[in-house]
Amino acid sequence: MSQTNAFGAPAADRPLHSLAIERRVPGPRDVSIEILFCGVCHSDLHTARGEWGQRTWPIVPGHEIVGRVSAVGEEVERFAVGDLAGVGCMVDSCRTCASCGEGLEQYCENGATFTYGSVEKETGRMTAGGYSSAIVVDQDFVLRISPDVDLAATAPLLCAGITTYSPLRHWNVGPDSKVGVVGLGGLGHVGVKIAAAIGAAVTLFTTSPGKADDARALGASEVVVSTDAARMKAARGTLDLIVDTVAAPHDLDPYLRSLRRDGSLVLLGAPPAPHPSPAVFALTASRRSLAGSNIGGIAETQEMLDFCAEHGVTAEVEMIAMEQIDEAYDRMLASEVKYRFVIDIGSMPSAV
Ligand X SMILES: NC(=O)c1ccc[n+]([C@@H]2O[C@H](COP(=O)([O-])OP(=O)(O)OC[C@H]3O[C@@H](n4cnc5c(N)ncnc54)[C@H](OP(=O)(O)O)[C@@H]3O)[C@@H](O)[C@H]2O)c1
Residues that bind Zn ion (CB under 5 A): 41, 43, 93-94, 97, 100, 108, 110, 159
Indicate which of Zn ion, ligand X, none lies near residue 94 (CB less than 5 to 8 Å, by partner kind): Zn ion
> Shortest distance, CB of residue 7 to ligand X, whole angstroms?
18
Least CB distance to Zn ion at residue 99 (A): 5
Which amino acid is located at 41 in the chain?
C
Nearer to Zn ion, 79 or 165 (CB): 165
Least distance CB 352 / ligand X (angstroms): 30
How far does Cα 349 stand from its chain's mean position?
25
Can residue 322 be called a binding residue for ligand X (CB under 6 A)? no
Alpha-carbon dihedral sign for residues 144, 309, 246, 233: negative
| Member of 294, 303, 323, 344 binding ligand X (CB under 6 A) | 294
248 lies in the site for ligand X, by CB under 6 A: yes
Site residues for ligand X, window 180-219 (CB under 6 A)? 183-188, 206-208, 211
Q: Which residue, 180 or 183, is less far from ligand X as judged by CB?
A: 183
Cβ–Cβ < 8 Å for 329, 43:
no
Shortest spacing between CB 228 and ligand X, in angstroms = 13
- Judged by CB under 6 A, which stretch of 137-145, 231-239, 243-251, 321-329 contacts ligand X? 243-251
Distance of closest approach, residue 247 Cβ to Zn ion, in angstroms? 11
Site residues for ligand X, 260-279, by CB under 6 A, read 268-271
Binding site for ligand X (CB under 6 A): 41-43, 46, 159, 163, 183-188, 206-208, 211, 245-248, 268-271, 293-295, 332, 335, 337
